[in-house]
Amino acid sequence: MAIVAPFRGLTYNFHLRQDLSRLVAPPYDVISEAEQLRYYQEDPHNVIRLILGRKRTGDSDWDNVYTRAADDFQRWQSDGTLIRSREPSLYVTAMTYDPGNGESERVRWGIIALVRIEDPASGVILPHERTFSAHKDDRLRLYRACNAQFSQIFGLYEDPDNEVLNACSEALTSSPQMDFHLDDGTRHQLWVVNRRILFRKVFEDMADKSIFIADGHHRYETARNYRDIMRARYGQRPANRSYEFVMMYLSSMNDKGLTILPSHRLIKEVPGFNTESFLEKLEQWFDVASFPLDTGNISHASQDLKDRLGKAGERRAAFGWYTQGSDQWRLLSRKPDMEGEMGDDLHPSLKVLDVLVLSRLIFQKGLGFSKEDLDDEEIFQYQSDSSKALSDVASGNHQMVFLLNPTRMEQVKEVAGNGLVMPRKSTYFYPKVLTGLVFNRIDPHEIIQVP
C-alpha cells in the first residue's frame, strides 16, 4: 500500500515575495548551460543555486557546488527567504498550459506530499525507465550535503472517479497562496492545505494504489540510497523517521491535463553512412514512403509529418526519418509480424514499443550501433519539439533525426506493472513539474505523522 502523509514543507516567503516566477526553475536534468546562467542572473535566490550550482576553478572537497548549495539553503532559512509551515500540510497545485497542438488550454492538477520509500519488490512504487549511475551519484552528494529534497518525484496513480482530488476541492475555495505566470505562458497556482480530515481521506484513498514514476527515476533511487545510509546511522526505529519518505508530486493518470510528448532521437553522426544501402536494409522490416520537406517552412512541414506519423502509428510502430541535405522525409511503418525480429529476450509488452522497435531494428540492425552506443550522449540527443528537431538537422547540427509518436499511458502501465523498464527517454510528461514550489528538509530525529 502507498503511504502518503502531509509534511511541514519549506516554501519561498510568499508573504514578502510577489515575483515568485523569478525564483523557480525546471528539473535540473533538462536545464542547458545557457538556461543555467539565465536562472543565475534572474535572482540571487533562484532555486538553480540549490539544484544545479555552477562549478568554479579551484573547487575542492570543502568548497564545491554541493557545499555552496548547503550554505545557501541554510542562509535562506535563517534570513526568512524560505519559511517552514507551522504544521503538516498538503500542497495542491494547478498548472495551466497550452498543449501546443491547436487544442484549448489544459489544467493539470497535482498534490505534493510525502510518500514512504518502498523497496523494489513491494510493487507499490513502480519505475518505467532505466537509470544511470552518474546521475544518482551527483544527486546523492547533494542530498548528503543539504539533507533536503528540493525537487518532487512526479508520480501517477489510477483514479477514474477522481476521488483524491475531489476530497481536496472544498479546501480550494479560497485564493491560492501562490499564483504566477512564467514566460512560457504557463500559470502556476498552489494552495497550502492543513485539514486533518482531508489528510485521512487522501491517506485512505491512496492506500490501495500503486504509484507509477513518471519523472524523477534517478531522484527516487537516490532517495532510497540516502534512506539506507541514514538507517545505518540512525536506525529504523521509531518508525516513520523523516528519511523514510520522499517528496512527490502526485497526479491522476485520468487527469485531462496530463500530456505525454515523444522524445525524438537526433544522431550527431553515423560513420560511413549511405542512404541507399540504409533504405535497402530497412525495407526488410518497414514499408517506406517519401514526402517532400520544405526547409524554408519547417513549422508547416513538421505539422504535416506529425499528422502522417500519427495516422500511421495507430496500428503499428511508425517513424519519421529526415537526414541532412535532403528535400524529403521518409515515413517508416513496420511491416506486420515482425515481432520475431526483435529478439527472444524481450517481454511481449516491450516488443511493441516504438522506442524499442527503433532501437533494435533501426539503430542496432540498420545503423550498426551497439547497445552501449545508445546510451552515449555524444551520439544521441533528444528533443520533444518536432520543428526544433527538424531545424537542428536542416542547419547541420546533427546528421539525422528519427521522429516518434508519444508512448501511450496504457503502455507505461503495462510495462511498469510487469516489473519491466523501458529505454531512457521513452516518455516526456509535459509540462515538467516546477522545482522551487516546496522543499522538504530532512531532520533524522523528526517523525512524520501518518494520518
State yes or no: pLDDT of 152 exceeds 90: yes
State yes or no: pLDDT of 55 exceeds 90: yes
**To 10 degrees, the CA torsion angle through 54, 59, 65, 70?**
-140
> Distance of alpha carbon 240 from its chain centroid, rounded?
27
Residue 388 lies in a domain: yes
Same domain, 293 and 233: no
Residues 342, 346: Cα–Cα separation, whole Å: 8
Q: What is the pLDDT of residue 359?
A: 94
Q: What is the pLDDT of residue 337?
A: 80
In this prediction, residue 120 has a pLDDT band, given cuts at 50, 70 and 90, of confident
- Residue-number span of the structural domain to which 290 is assigned: 263-405
Higher pLDDT, 130 or 241: 241
Same domain, 300 and 345: yes
Residue 105 lies in a domain: yes
In which residue are the cell numbers 513538421 written? Answer: 302
State yes or no: pLDDT of 78 exceeds 90: yes
The answer, as to whether pTM is greater than 0.75, is: yes
**To 10 degrees, the CA torsion angle through 279, 283, 285, 286?**
80
Same domain, 314 and 237: no
3-state SS, residue 386 = helix
Percent of the chain with pLDDT over 70: 98
Mean pLDDT over residues 135-158, rounded?
A: 94
**Dihedral sign of CA atoms 286, 291, 424, 416 in order:** negative
Strands 211-215, 153-157: pairing is: antiparallel
Same domain, 230 and 247: yes
State yes or no: pLDDT of 446 exceeds 80: yes
Is residue 247 within 8 A of residue 258, CB to CB? The reply is: no
Amino acid at 215: D
Residue 352 lies in a domain: yes
Greatest CA separation found in the chain?
A: 67
Instruction: Look at 165-169, 218-222, 276-280 and tell me which has the smallest mean pLDDT.
Output: 165-169
Same domain, 131 and 162: yes
Q: What is the pLDDT of residue 346?
A: 85
Distances (CA, A) of 291 to 280, 302, 308, 360: 18, 12, 10, 25
Residues 242, 5: Cα–Cα separation, whole Å: 11
Q: What is the pLDDT of residue 102?
A: 65
Same domain, 127 and 183: yes
State yes or no: pLDDT of 135 exceeds 90: no
Is residue 420 within 8 A of residue 354, CB to CB? The reply is: no
Q: What is the pLDDT of residue 101?
A: 63
State yes or no: pLDDT of 307 exceeds 80: yes
Mean pLDDT over residues 150-179, rounded?
A: 90
Compute the mean pLDDT over every residue in the chain, rounded to the nearest whole number: 92
In this prediction, residue 87 has a pLDDT band, given cuts at 50, 70 and 90, of very high
In this prediction, residue 338 has a pLDDT band, given cuts at 50, 70 and 90, of confident
Mean pLDDT over residues 211-225, rounded?
A: 93
Q: What is the pLDDT of residue 199?
A: 93
Same domain, 253 and 275: no
Same domain, 95 and 210: yes
In this prediction, residue 289 has a pLDDT band, given cuts at 50, 70 and 90, of very high
Same domain, 212 and 320: no
Higher pLDDT, 16 or 231: 231
